[in-house]
Chain A
Amino acid sequence: MTETPDIYIRLESVSKAYRIAGQAIPIFSGLDLAIPRGDFVAVMGPSGSGKSTLLNMLAGIDRPDAGRVRIGTHQLDQMGEAARGAWRAHHMGIVFQFYNLLPMLNAAENVELPLLLKPLSARERRLRVERVLDLVGLSGRERQYPGMMSGGQQQRVGIARAIVADPGLLLCDEPTGDLDRTSADDILEMLQTLNQVLGKTILMVTHDPQAARLAKRTLHLDKGVFVEEARAPR
């Protein structure tokens, strides 16, 4: 399978419905999306518009009922669960709203988790962990446990965990939704850096218009259709 030039994420005619009490509740029907490599896209929309479902499908933890989901050279809708898991381990990082760190592991160990799936020596893993923790400004806090950290610090650990395996794609699910304004701005600035300096393709679901403004473009998802927000060139 070949990657379409410039387009990294492509959704074609994607449909998804949930069945509740035997009744199909459609989320999307024939949804299309194309995101170039290196883009930073914010997805906004009202509750129930399907933002999380979209993110789950792009992360390969949910599958469309119909249509195609292609990221890079990988067509996720055609891959089995094991193959999608392996793809996630190597090509995608995810940042959660509530950080989702494992409480019994310290910051360095949480960040190291994705590296356990790679054929790296303990020394190589340690060096990579030190590097990304330094990158997110947590150098010296390697041994701290999540319970000892602020929300902003925990989210930095979450971002470090998402990028430690050097994935091309970063999916962020309301990454600032649980943070105060200052911490939120720090995190958004960090995401911008990851996009601009390291070239990560970022798709961020958010309710926060300020967060969305820091993305290169904003898509509004409503009634199963994307509408791109017009904005003045930066």
Chain B
Amino acid sequence: MDYSLVVAIELLREVAGLILIATGLAIVFGMMRVINIAHGEFIMLGGYTVVLTTKQGVNIWIAILILAPLIVGIFGVIVERLIIRHLYGRIIDSLLATWGLSLFLIGFVTVVFGNTVEGVTTPFSAIAIGGYTVSIYTLFLIFAAMAVIASVYLTLRHTKAGLIARATMQNPDMVETLGINSKLVYMATFGIGAAFAGLAGGLLAPISGVVPSMGALLIGKAFITVVTGGTAVVAGTLSASSILGSISQSVTFIFGPVFGDATLLFVALILLRLLPQGITGRIFTRSV
């Protein structure tokens, strides 16, 4: 009983991790059909924000929940102004340019902070479940992922901004005709996507530490979660994260983390072969 509870928590943690790293990417992809390869580096920047500001004595919760998304979000807006806005509609070129940005950021951070792992202490202690211990921070991560996905859903579904965003996804020309500056919408969306990346980086920093090359490992997972999910932000991210996360974590339990990661990628391949437009391209097509 205790063991299965621990296993369930571990599965949920993997799913939560995927949700956190993929949400920002899914928003940008669903909205603008831009796959931002530098997303992993945005996460890395969020992690560094937390590490640096807590070293200066900032409260860790302020650093994770406010500073990391804020700073990376502003950075995202700058990137959108400088690079992305020239490349709308040129899907391959935007991929390539963001890949360039990704390499640039890895190099830049390596030069500034060095190629070493930096860490922050994990807040909260651990609790015991029977003979096992579970970090409370893990439970907090699962909660944070649920909060993230719920806030995206509620914003898209029940606010004016969400309505405009969904309309722009469906038909940007019509939205322009109705007097809304779709360029502004795109800029805001990219900034919000970046902010979610920053938040993910901040939340993951206490667990995994930060290192300049961490983005490359994350972007692969985030990327396939988004593509497997398809274009619907909430339903896609949720369904793909659940399927991929629970399968890979189960394999991890049996064969170790490397095979878990490999299985995640392999399952994504099979899913894409069966559903080339992603899960929400075929199922849940009317969801957000």
Indicate, yes or no, whether A interacts with B. Answer: no
Residues of A near any B CB (own CB < 8 A): none
Binding site for A on B (CB under 8 A): none
